[in-house]
Amino acid sequence: MTLININPDDLSRPDRYKLICGLVIPRPIALVTTVSENGVVNAAPFSFFNAFSDQPTIVALGVNSRPDGGMKDTATNINYTKEFVVHMVTKDIAEKMNVSCVNFPPDISEIEEANFTLKKSYAVNTPSIKESLVALECKLHSIIPLGIDRNITLGEVINISTTSDVVDVDKNYINIEKYQPIARLFGNMYASISDIFQLKRLNYQEWMNDKELSKLKKNNNKEED
């Protein structure tokens, strides 16, 4: 084994993309609905996606340009309506999500092709996807341009739409068995959550106590040897 250091600037664009996307994993997937100037509802998945702040409640999408340099419909629509809905992609809608990113001609609706059903959202005019377990209704917070063909779109979540199976509102508890979000790895690979473990977060006192305890255990073991 040899240590390697890679300056992304030394790589070709496709190799750089492949490396960063392949190493920063797993990434959750946002299935984003938006509405065009003509009222057409658009859906597309984004895995340059995560939550970044609780107050304000901010999620971010990394939106690229199309290969021809034009803006993706999602970006055009968000610029126009200043809102969007992020649906967390769970196992049960994974295949439909995959259909939604086929590059259909403009007159074909990816929502219909993927067999998704639209429903009215609670706090925004952009419709939501009925089959989704968690929808984050967002108003546009800001857009950070990154170079010529990339941007980060920040959305402020103004309503979380889910079900009582997924979130127990009284206990503020999430039922991960029911929720089952999937993540993107790289290429055509995805992952589901199947190996959950816990790590207790320690404060300094607890850390010191733990250290003392393991020292004692070590010494006891030595004496027994």
Q: Which of 16, 18, 72, 139 binds ligand FMN (CB under 6 A)?
A: 72
Quick check: 113 binds ligand FMN (CB under 6 A)? no
CB of 22 to ligand FMN, least distance (A): 13
CB of 3 to ligand FMN, least distance (A): 30
* Residue 17 burial (10 A CB sphere; 0-12, 13-18, 19+): middle
Residue nearer to ligand FMN on the CB measure, 20 or 202: 20
Quick check: 48 binds ligand FMN (CB under 6 A)? yes
* Residue 39 burial (10 A CB sphere; 0-12, 13-18, 19+): exposed
Residue nearer to ligand FMN on the CB measure, 189 or 208: 189
Quick check: 101 binds ligand FMN (CB under 6 A)? yes
Residues 6+ apart with CB under 8 A from 102: 110, 113
Per DSSP, the residues of 194-210 read: ------PPP-HHHHHHH
Q: Which of 41, 44, 59, 78 binds ligand FMN (CB under 6 A)?
A: 44
Quick check: 47 binds ligand FMN (CB under 6 A)? yes
CB of 29 to ligand FMN, least distance (A): 5
Residue nearer to ligand FMN on the CB measure, 110 or 137: 110
Quick check: 188 binds ligand FMN (CB under 6 A)? no
**Amino acid occupying residue 177:** E
Is 105 in contact with 62 (CB distance < 8 Å)?
no
| Preceding peptide of 45 cis, ω within 30° | no
Distance CA 82, CA 62 (A): 16
DSSP designation for 22: H
Return residues touching ligand FMN (CB under 6 A).
29, 42, 44-48, 62-64, 72-74, 101, 103, 184
